[in-house]
Structure 1
Amino acid sequence: MPLHIEKVSHRYGSVEALDGIELDITDGETVALIGPSGCGKSTLLGIIGGLLQPTAGRVALSGPPPQDSLNPFTYVFQDFALLPWRSVADNVSLALEHRSLGAAERRERVAAALALTGLGDFAGAYPKQLSGGMRQRVGLARALVVRPAVLLLDEPLSALDAQTRELLMEDLLAIWARDKSTRVYVTHNLEEAARLADRVVVLSRRPGRIREVIGIDVPVAERAKPEHSRLLIDVHKRLWSLIRDEAATADREMQAVDR
């Protein structure tokens, strides 16, 4: 469902993290947030999801969530946070506990989420038996089982190796072709942003402001085709040109703090 970010600003004491963020996200759209370290990407995601109250401005949804949605907003983090003593199916069903659902509906939702994420054959497995990519699929299934109106992803692939990340990007595109939630995706990885997002929002150094919004005209399902490789390279170069100098400055500031 459509999401509206209206003049959102946020401060942590004397530190101004975000300043005047305005953005409309359409129903079913994937928007990636990128920018130099400390630009407020995760802060903005927390405000969207209701974990943080903005200092100024607001976030609003257009209309009520879908009828079968148990949570308007649901997160996927880079930390899988799976319970090792619970099976895959039981980890996914954790999101349904304390909900007034019948046993049949609970089973149906878990089975549907496992099928959507390619985990149907692993329902009885335990986290220690799974690869990192498979564990992240469990985390994704746990988020999708509540059928959120808006899915919030905070660097979900950053803890994975390069090959697994490539596979997960393909999986995400296949899932999103069938799942109609609206998505906000925070990443440091410019390739992920170019591959997965309909639009990429580039934030400035702190305080985070929107520098530019870059739309990618080729449908996400077609971007892996060889004929579109040049487009992705050009988008990557454009994104890097927008954040390079500020990223270098932010890196020097972090190194100075570490000393």
Structure 2
Amino acid sequence: MRLLLRQVGHHYADLPVLEDISLDVAQGETVAIIGPSGCGKSTLLNLVGGLLPLQQGSIETLGAPPPGCLNPLTFVFQDFALLPWRDVAGNVALALEHHDLSRAERDARIQDVLALCGLSDFAKALPKQLSGGMRQRVGIARAIAVRPAVLLMDEPLSALDAQTRELLMEDLLAIWGRERTTTLYVTHNLAEAVRLADRVMVLSRRPGKVKTIIGIPIPVLERGKPQHAAALAALQEDLWQSIKIEAQVADREMLGEAQHG
């Protein structure tokens, strides 16, 4: 499905957080959202996902959902949010239990996403028996089990070490290559943004406005190859320069608010 945002704004009491956000995300496209701390990245994701009421502007999904779609919009958060008493298959099943599926249909979906996320051999393992990367794979498997039309990802890899994050990025690219799910991906990590996204939307410091949108011209499946390392590093540097000064100001502002809050 296509995702269309027009002049979206939001405030908390007298504090403006987002202003005049417009974005058109094509079917199957991944758009990363970056910006200084406190610029409203997660707020924007929550508005799209319906966790916050829309105050200004419009948010639409256009087109038919993919075959077998159970939830049009689905989140993946930084916190894995797994039930510790359920095994891997049981945690994935949680997303399916309130839908009208036969036992065979539910089991088939679970087996399919476990295989896609490299979890087939861990179906009976409890979360405490898994590494952080494996637990996040379970969270991703649970999200895509409902075959969402739009996937909303809020810093899903930020709690992981660099090596695990690299492996999870490869997993995400493989999943998106098969599912072609329209995705909004919030991150502070510029390397993630240029590795995973088709385009990167840069927000200004609060109130967050669209500062620029940068396309990544290298095909996503080519970006892990050594010959593209310099080009990706240059794109990452361009992104950093676009937010560096505002990020420094935003950090000072948030520190001042914390001290006087």
Q: TM-score range by the shorter chain?
A: over 0.9
Q: Which residue does 2:180 correspond to in 1?
A: 180
Letter in 1 for 2:180: K
Partner of 1:219: 219
Alpha-carbon shift at residue 99 of structure 1 (Å):
1.2
CA contact (8 A) 2:38 2:254 kept: no
Look up the match of 1:101: 101
Deviation at 1:254, TM superposition (A): 2.1
Q: Secondary structure at the match of 1:213?
A: strand
Deviations 1:220-242 (A, max 9, x none): 11001111111111111100001
Q: Secondary structure at the match of 1:96?
A: coil
Alpha-carbon distance in structure 2 between the residues aligned to 1:53 and 1:65: 23
Aligned residues: 259
Tell me, yes or no, if the aligned pair for 2:95 and 2:143 is still in contact at 8 Å. yes
Q: CA deviation at 1:258?
A: 3.2
Residue 196 of structure 1 corresponds to 196
Q: Could you say what the CA RMSD is over the residues aligned between the two structures, in angstroms? A: 0.9
Which residue identity is paired with 1:190?
A: L
Which residues of structure 1 form unaligned runs of 5+?
A: none
How much has 1:81 moved relative to structure 2?
0.6
Q: SS of 2:200's equivalent? A: strand
Residues 80 and 135 in structure 2, CA contact (< 8 A), matched pair in contact too: yes
In structure 2, distance between residues paired with 1:57 and 1:204 = 18
User: What is the deviation of 1:55?
Assistant: 1.2
Instruction: Report the equivalent of 2:148.
Output: 148
Q: Does 1:12 align with 2:8?
A: no
Q: Which residue of 1 aligns with 2:80?
A: 80
- Stretches of structure 2 that go unaligned for 5 or more consecutive residues are none
The residue aligned with 2:23 is 23
Aligned amino acid, residue 29 of structure 1: E
Amino acid at match of 1:237: E
Q: Distance in 2 between matches of 1:17 and 1:252?
A: 17
User: Are positions 1:55 and 2:81 aligned together?
Assistant: no
Q: CA deviation at 1:255?
A: 2.1
TM-score, normalised with respect to structure 2: 0.97
2:118 counterpart letter in structure 1: G
TM-score by length of 1: 0.98
The aligned amino acid for 1:122 is F
Aligned-pair CA distance for 1:64: 3.0
Is 1:70 aligned to residue 70 of structure 2?
yes
